[in-house]
Chain A
Amino acid sequence: MRAVVIKDLTAIRRSKGVLIPMITVPGLLLVILPLLIGLAARNHAAPNVDGILRSVPEGVARPITQLPEAQRLVVLVNGYLLAPLFLIVPLMVASVLAADAFAGEKERSTLESLLHLPISERDLFYAKVLGAFLPAVLVSWIGFVLFAVVVNTTAWPVMHRVFIPTKLWLVMIVWVAPAVAALGLGVMVRVSARAKSTQEANQLGGAVILPLIFLAVGQSTGLLLVTLPLAVGAGALVWLVALVLATGGARRFTRDRMAAAI
């Protein structure tokens, strides 16, 4: 199983078509955007966010309105509004890579050679899942470290303290983001096994992944408002669904089905 994961990771590392979106999208969301916000907040003419605060849930607005006015934009945007983006990153990276897992092998005419190797169906399936899961989590974690560095550095003149990560942020990054990646994978690997090409897998999977993205975006800000045990519980629920999908996928995955579709 390890060798299949190594093969996939090596191939990802060598493929500019996969690597560039994997770096640029999280780079834009997690580095460039907070950098611009941080710089805007340092400016004396930083926009007043009181109007926005009136339209966000009271649970979010109350602690922010208690802060000095200069800190409000930074905390509102970097502390809360960018949170959904963190869940988009693992979901997006995992989905892109998982779409390629089997459909890409079919497209490159490498699937048959792979099926002729002595590796159990279960190991092959989980190797493909891991080959997408590891980069997705790695990109999310590296992205988060860069995000924290950028946000704390640019906001330092305003905040005078390290305000990210909070405990809830850590739960999001360490527990919820990998769960969301696994959820995307649970869906996309199964789609990829049925699709004839990566493009078809992306199209078919998009119909499933997009609602998941909206759900993640909708819920993640709220997740930062709940208590630590609730956030852990929400992550556990996502993990559970992801594991059910993955184990179900592994059970249904057979060489015969794959070979018959070549």
Chain B
Amino acid sequence: MREDYDKFVERDAEILVIGPEGPRRFKQVWEAERYPFVGFADYRHTVADRYGQEVKLRKLGRMPALLIVDKRGVIRLAHFGDDMADIPKNKDVLALLDRLNQEEVAQ
């Protein structure tokens, strides 16, 4: 997602990454990796639970999830991964953002 970050920004989108680590560990990784996204340590899992991120003990923890919330605050994509690699492709997410922006122009 990092390599396409500018394409997301061009489409009026911001990327918020929410992870289960504590604030210190989260900040450490964030600064080392220089991620351009907004990052949050949701160590109490309050937001993850509110959105329904799944925990699979046999797969050693939380499954990835990706959602798109449009400018009106409505969920337009909700993808809950079945395994670590199960996340939507950037090109598909960018295409959905294009559609949302076209809808906005048409309104």
On whether the two chains bind one another, the answer is no
Give me the interface of A with B, judged by CB distance under 8 Å. none
- B-side residues, CB < 8 A to A, are none
